Amino acid sequence: MVRRIMKSIKRLAAGLARRLGLLAAATDAFLFLKTKPWKEVGRRAKTVDGIALPSASLRFSAAGTADEEWFLQSGRAGAEVLREVFEELPRDTEPARILDFGCGCGRVLRHVARWQDVTPFGIDWNPRAVRWCRNNLPRASVFRGGLGPPLPEVVADLDLVYAFSVFTHLPEDLQVAWLAELSSRLCERGRLVLSTMGDAFADQLTDAERTSYDQGRLVLREPSVAGTNVCAAYHPPGSLERLLPADLEVVRHVPEGARGNPPQDLVVVRKLSR
Ligand SMILES: C[S@@+](CC[C@H](N)C(=O)[O-])C[C@H]1O[C@@H](n2cnc3c(N)ncnc32)[C@H](O)[C@@H]1O
């Protein structure tokens, strides 16, 4: 009974915070205070390679730790994975158009935005993260989006879209809606690169969740706070494929292959030509 009342209160509070545009900030603050990441923060360097470091709370929100070295090193590793996929792409026109979906405070985008052969875009629904990117990553066009589609009109004809640790925080209906939207903005033979929580996370699941996971079903926690780090989605092998629109196909699923987002899986998806 008490649990049911607490659940209803949580749902109401989440709904109110979302309407006020405060949900991302509220859950970030909750996790930040719970984890006390400032204990691991040393003296903060002002800029690295000419780009400012985001605040400890923004770094924590992106990477689950405020550690400066990890923020930089993991972002670089994520960008290297993308570069490998990018090099495989059939490209007719330069510069190629790249979208960081759920870019946060630019952990990966700060590296991708240095590539001279791309036009970089970013989008996130967290206003604080978007403000940081706009102020500090001038080469990238960064937008604030909603929790669901659409993308802004100018974000189209994309060669590559990536979403690191984003579909890991979305319930199934939003995953389906975003996969369709992202596909509609990819150019023919473009790629979508995602990271997911797969088998490496299975031991975090409760017995009931594990049973569902082993049956190949997506496992969701706290869908009422979709898009925040409190909401968690676990993808058993094959489950993402079932959410894809007909014009996307998985070309590579590498367990624990999302370097820079360990130990998440890497999923590379291809847009099919018509
Ligand atoms: C764990 S953080 C990862 C940030 C960044 N991708 C990285 O790897 O550093 C998840 C990010 O996804 C964003 N996000 C979640 N749902 C979203 C949605 N529906 N649209 C845009 N951004 C979203 C969150 O605001 C947050 O910045």
Q: What is the pLDDT of residues 151-207, one digit of tens each?
A: 999 999 999 999 999 999 999 999 999 999 999 999 998 999 999 999 999 999 999
Instruction: Identify the pLDDT of residue 36.
Output: 64
Q: How far is CA 38 from CA 41, 67, 72, in A?
A: 5, 9, 17
Ligand 1: centre distance to CA 2 (Å) = 32
Q: What is the pLDDT of residues 210-222, one digit of tens each?
A: 999 999 999 999 9
Q: Is the pLDDT of residue 259 over 80?
A: yes
Ligand 1 atom with the smallest distance to the CA of 170 is: 16
Terminal CA-CA length for the chain: 54
Q: Please give the residue that has the higher pLDDT: either 185 or 43.
A: 185
| Beta strand pairing call for 248-254 and 265-271 | antiparallel
What average pLDDT does the segment 44-67 reach?
A: 90
Q: Is the pLDDT of residue 38 over 80?
A: no
Ligand 1: centre distance to CA 218 (Å) = 19
Reading the block at residue 13, the tokens are 């509070």
Number of H helices, E strands in the chain: 8, 11
Q: Give the angle subtended at the CA of 188 by the CAs of 103 and 143, to the nearest 5°.
A: 25
Q: Is the pLDDT of residue 15 over 70?
A: no
Alpha carbon distance 76, 74 (integer Å): 5
Instruction: Identify the pLDDT of residue 22.
Output: 72
Ligand 1 atom with the smallest distance to the CA of 195 is: 8
Please give the single-letter amino acid code of residue 205. L
If pLDDT is split at 50, 70 and 90, which confidence band does 30 have? confident
Alpha carbon distance 114, 97 (integer Å): 13
Q: What is the overall mean pLDDT for the chain? A: 91
Percent of the chain exceeding pLDDT 70 equals: 86
Q: How far is CA 168 from CA 12, 38, 94, 202, 214, in A?
A: 23, 25, 32, 13, 18
Residue 229 φ/ψ, nearest 5 degrees: -75, -10
Q: Is the pLDDT of residue 103 over 70?
A: yes
The closest alpha carbon to 105, from 74, 128, 76, belongs to 128
Instruction: Identify the pLDDT of residue 10.
Output: 64
Residues with CB under 6 A from ligand 1: 24, 62-63, 102-104, 107-108, 123-126, 129, 145, 147, 164-166, 169-170, 227, 229
Please give the single-letter amino acid code of residue 90. P
> For residues 165-193, b (16+ Cβ closer than 10 Å) or e, as one string?
bbbbbbbeebbebbbbbbbebbbeebbbb
Ligand 1: centre distance to CA 103 (Å) = 6
Alpha carbon distance 179, 139 (integer Å): 26
Question: Please, are residues 62 and 104 in contact by the beta-carbon 8 Å criterion?
Answer: yes
If pLDDT is split at 50, 70 and 90, which confidence band does 264 have? very high
Q: Is the pLDDT of residue 135 over 70?
A: yes
Question: Please, are residues 68 and 53 in contact by the beta-carbon 8 Å criterion?
Answer: yes
Ligand 1: centre distance to CA 63 (Å) = 10
pTM of the model: 0.88
Reading the block at residue 203, the tokens are 């031991």
Instruction: Identify the pLDDT of residue 94.
Output: 79
Q: What is the CA radius of gyration of the chain?
A: 18
